[in-house]
């Protein structure tokens, strides 16, 4: 049977042939990829004398066929999944886990790596080569190379279980999201909702077979506007309760026991490898080295942010009391009254700004910003196959016309796509035998869809989300390293958010907004007074928002920084872990843990703090752009060379100091957030 995943891709720029790939192609391709990778490992082991080239470099280059097929498969499982793909994921995940363990627990292979590692001082390696050698050696040690045979077997069993549990957690959250639909028959119940949101709700109802109704789902473009604008408090509460009880209703989609199993297995794995906890294991390879350092960092921010947050909440409570006689703000009231107060204080709201942020224009603005900074240009290529009709593919070119990357953009929600926004890679950058493989990068979002009467118009928050994910994409696209495992976003997890978060800063600058923010009907440029209001309102409720991020980081550390046998019941454990940051009454039966995909499905376990950590870096780094000009060529060139292109070739603290001229300081973040 012809299998396009096992053939040379006859496509523009060697892109994935999505138009030919069928679900049944994946399992044979991944099995063949594992077989080829194992043969490559055996060849490495057969070399008579271990050297950096025949062992360390060869290991980095092994498994290309498997890597390509599995990255395509798991990207589709996040962005365009179905029951067949999910069933296949449950079959494929254990195969990949076993294959990874077969490599990392191979004593003969590890001994070769160890021999090279022990000679590192005599090998005259470049900084990048030294990093690859150290990373290769540590990956074996940190994944059980020094374990006994029985311990190795225990590790394999743990990893298999974790792979399955993580998949099941994500499937449950996605199914909970997809199955929920709240119908409204009486238009009076939609008071406060802008016309665009009503149109979208009517379109969703019609799409789901309920013409004449208005429908709300738990997908962000439906849920967030309803929580922000609906005057109907009952509607807000109904939607909040549906969202807050995702995967904790005691049915077969309940994630509470899965969470307990995941954190216990992670703890057992860490102990098996000689670490005090999963967080100790993870943080060994982070800029923040220990759980105590993370907790100290979060508590330091908490100390600065909490008085401001409490002051903001008192102001909001007084405002809600004055406007609607509320004695107590509940969690389903926060976004609504915060938006009303912001509108009153700054004469600004999302609906005032939305007409200036047509999605296609914002995308062009993102491209122009990247061009002004780094000289790259984007050209849509409809010949590149895509995995869903809404996805667009672009070729990216450098300032001298050289090909840089393929960029996929996938913007709208659909049933087979998980919530949120993320950047990913279908093919990484590397150099091999004098040839440079350029990367294929994708960003996936869930923005407001176009309706029959208007195009997709973004909220300002969605604009910053697009810039954020595009910052990650730049990190991937501009990669210029030798080794695949060190290029692009293959950096310490608490450094990976720097390129994304710094790019958000341009959204607040007139010089950038003037490139693309124009009224979708009149073509009028966004008024300067609106830009001033955007900047003035940037710190609005910043204390509360900072507390919210800190609360997620502290919850993550509570799950992973100690023996999880202390967890008796998820709801009370979560409540206790977040009590220092909680300024609103708890709502019995609701939890965030059971849908906390970042740490139980994604790669953020013991790493959620990195969002705030990277904010320190991005505020400090952007301060240099502000001093020199936000499109200053020399500053952009330095950021490109030392951060974006460098990937994980050296320790992030070295790369950052090379760009900034010194270590980062908190001052810029505290000033920007109004917490100084």
Q: Which residues are catalytic?
A: 469
Distance CA 394, CA 464 (A): 21
| 3-state SS assignment for residue 407 | strand
Query: Buried (b) or exposed (e) across 492-508, using 16+ Cβ within 10 A?
Result: bbbbbbbbbbbbbbbbb
Q: Which of 101, 102, 106 lies closest to 158, judged by CA?
A: 101
Reported as half-sphere exposure (CB side, CA atoms, 13 A), residue 593 has a value of: 30
Confirm if 130 and 64 have CB atoms less than 8 A apart. no
CB neighbours (10 Å) of residue 151? 14
Beta strands in 579-676 (DSSP E): none
Query: How do 214-216 and 440-444 pair as beta strands?
Result: unpaired
Q: Which of 622, 636, 670, 656 is nearest to 492 (CA)?
A: 656
Residues 6+ apart with CB under 8 A from 305: 542, 543, 546, 547, 550, 673, 675
Contact 551, 582 (CB under 8 A): yes
Nearest to 409 by CA among 23, 4, 79: 79
**CA separation, residue 626 to residues 240, 630, 666 (Å):** 40, 5, 16
CB 534 within 8 A of CB 348: yes
Q: How far apart are CA 587 and CA 237, in angstroms?
A: 11
Q: Return phi, psi of residue 437, to 5°.
A: -85, 120
Packing angle, helices 83-104 and 149-179, rounded to 10 = 160
Q: What is the DSSP track for 341-389? A: HHHHHHS--HHHHGGG-BHHHHHHHHHHHHHHHH--EEEE-TTS--SST
Q: Are 78 and 422 in contact (CB under 8 A)?
A: yes
Q: Which has the closest alpha carbon to 295: 559, 553, 567, 549?
A: 553
Q: How many Å separate Cα 571 from the centre of its chain? A: 25
With a CB cutoff of 8 Å and minimum separation 6, the contacts of 575 are: 582, 586
Q: β-strands 440-444, 403-410: how paired?
A: parallel
Q: Is 472 exposed, middle or buried (0-12, 13-18, 19+ CB in 10 A)?
A: buried
Residue 422 three-state SS: strand
State how far Cα 544 lies from the chain centre.
22
Contact 439, 428 (CB under 8 A): yes
Give the phi and the psi of residue 362 in degrees, each rounded to 5.
-65, -40
What are the residues whose beta carbons fall under 8 Å from the beta carbon of 141, sequence distance 6 or more? Answer: none
Taking the C-alpha atoms of residue 97 and residue 490, their distance in angstroms, rounded to an integer, is 20
Torsion, Cα 347 351 356 359, to 10 degrees, reads 150
DSSP count for the chain of H helices, then E strands: 27, 9
């Amino acid at each position: 049977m012809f299998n396009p995943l096992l053939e040379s891709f006859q496509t523009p720029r060697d892109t994935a042939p999505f138009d030919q790939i069928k679900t049944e192609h994946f399992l044979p391709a991944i099995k063949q990829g594992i077989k080829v990778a194992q043969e490559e490992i055996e060849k490495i082991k057969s070399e008579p004398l271990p050297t950096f080239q025949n062992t360390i470099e060869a290991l980095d280059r092994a498994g290309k066929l498997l890597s390509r097929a599995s990255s395509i498969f798991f990207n589709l499982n996040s962005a365009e999944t179905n029951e067949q793909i999910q069933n296949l994921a449950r079959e494929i995940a254990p195969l990949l886990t076993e294959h990874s363990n077969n490599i990392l627990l191979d004593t003969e292979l590890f001994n070769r790596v160890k021999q090279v590692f022990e000679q590192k001082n005599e090998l005259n390696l470049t900084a990048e080569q030294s990093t690859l050698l150290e990373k290769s050696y540590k990956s074996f040690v940190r994944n059980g190379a020094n374990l006994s045979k029985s311990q190795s077997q225990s590790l394999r069993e743990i990893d298999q279980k974790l792979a399955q549990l993580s998949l099941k957690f994500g499937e449950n959250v996605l199914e909970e999201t997809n199955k929920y639909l709240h119908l409204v028959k009486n238009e009076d119940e939609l008071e406060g909702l802008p016309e665009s949101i009503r149109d979208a709700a009517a379109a969703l109802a019609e799409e789901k077979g309920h013409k004449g109704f208005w429908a709300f789902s738990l997908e962000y473009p439906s849920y967030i506007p309803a929580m922000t604008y609906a005057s109907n408090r009952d509607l807000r509460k109904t939607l909040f309760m549906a969202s807050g009880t995702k995967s904790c209703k005691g049915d077969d989609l309940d994630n509470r026991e899965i969470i307990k199993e995941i954190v216990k297995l992670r703890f057992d794995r860490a102990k098996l490898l000689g670490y005090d906890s999963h967080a100790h294991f993870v943080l060994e390879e982070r800029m923040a080295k220990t759980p105590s350092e993370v907790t100290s960092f979060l508590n330091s921010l908490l100390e600065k942010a909490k008085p401001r947050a409490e002051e903001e909440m008192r102001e909001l409570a007084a405002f809600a009391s004055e406007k609607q006689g509320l004695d107590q703000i509940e969690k389903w009231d926060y976004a609504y009254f915060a938006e009303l107060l912001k509108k009153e204080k700054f004469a600004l709201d999302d609906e005032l700004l939305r007409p200036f942020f047509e999605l296609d224009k914002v995308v062009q603005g993102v491209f122009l910003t990247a061009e002004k900074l780094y000289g790259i240009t984007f050209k849509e290529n409809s010949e590149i196959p895509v995995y869903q009709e809404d996805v667009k593919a672009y070729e990216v070119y450098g300032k001298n016309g050289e090909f840089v990357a393929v960029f996929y953009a996938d913007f709208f929600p659909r049933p087979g796509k998980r919530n949120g926004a993320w950047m990913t890679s279908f093919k990484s950058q590397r150099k091999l035998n004098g040839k440079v493989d350029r990367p294929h990068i994708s960003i996936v979002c869930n923005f407001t869809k176009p309706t029959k009467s208007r195009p997709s118009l973004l909220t300002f928050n969605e604009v910053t989300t697009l810039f954020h994910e595009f910052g990650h994409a730049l990190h991937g696209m501009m990669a210029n390293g030798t080794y695949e495992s060190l290029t692009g976003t293959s950096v310490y997890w608490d450094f990976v958010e720097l390129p994304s978060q710094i790019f958000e800063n341009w959204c607040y600058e007139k010089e950038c907004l003037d490139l693309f923010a124009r009224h979708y009907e009149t073509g009028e440029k966004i008024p300067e007074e609106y830009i001033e209001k955007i900047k003035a309102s940037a710190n609005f409720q910043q204390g509360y928002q900072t507390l919210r991020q800190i609360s997620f980081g502290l919850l993550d550390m509570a799950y992973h920084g100690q023996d999880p046998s202390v967890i008796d019941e998820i709801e009370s454990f979560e409540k206790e872990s977040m009590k220092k940051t909680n300024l609103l009454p708890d709502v019995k039966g609701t939890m965030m843990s059971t849908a906390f995909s970042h740490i139980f499905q994604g790669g953020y376990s013991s790493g959620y703090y990195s969002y705030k950590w990277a904010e320190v870096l991005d505020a400090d780094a952007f301060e240099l752009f502000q001093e020199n000009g936000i499109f200053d060529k020399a500053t952009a060139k330095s950021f490109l060379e030392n951060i974006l292109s460098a990937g994980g070739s050296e320790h992030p603290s070295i790369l950052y100091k090379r760009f900034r001229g010194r270590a980062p300081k908190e001052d810029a973040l505290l000033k920007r957030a109004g917490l100084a």
